[in-house]
């Protein structure tokens, strides 16, 4: 299946007609890594903000 992102229509094509596959979806591991990075960045920002408010 090929999906046109502008119109949202999907078209079935035979496997033999496929020359190259490309995907725009992130793997589960990548999503977890991005999420963990965001959480760590927020935690560091909170810690630094708490230190500057105390002093």
Q: What is the pTM of this model?
A: 0.52
pLDDT 10s digits, 4-38: 878 889 888 888 887 877 777 778 888 899 999 99
CA dist 46 and 36 (Å) reads 15
**Structure confidence at residue 39 (pLDDT):** 98
**Structure confidence at residue 48 (pLDDT):** 94
Contacts of 12 (CB under 8 A, 6+ apart): 1, 2
Per-residue pLDDT band for 44 (boundaries 50, 70, 90) equals very high
Contacts of 34 (CB under 8 A, 6+ apart): 26
Locate 36 and state its tokens: 């963990």
Q: Any idea where the domains of the chain sit in the sequence?
A: 2-54
CA dist 10 and 1 (Å) reads 6
CA-based torsion, 39, 40, 43, 44: positive or negative: negative
Q: Pick the residue with more confidence: 55 or 38?
A: 38
């Amino acid at each position: 299946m090929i999906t046109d992102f502008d119109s949202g229509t999907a078209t079935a094509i035979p496997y033999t007609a496929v020359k190259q596959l490309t995907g725009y979806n992130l793997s589960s591991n990548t999503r977890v890594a991005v999420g963990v990075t965001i959480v760590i960045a927020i935690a560091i920002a909170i810690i630094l903000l708490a230190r500057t408010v105390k002093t």
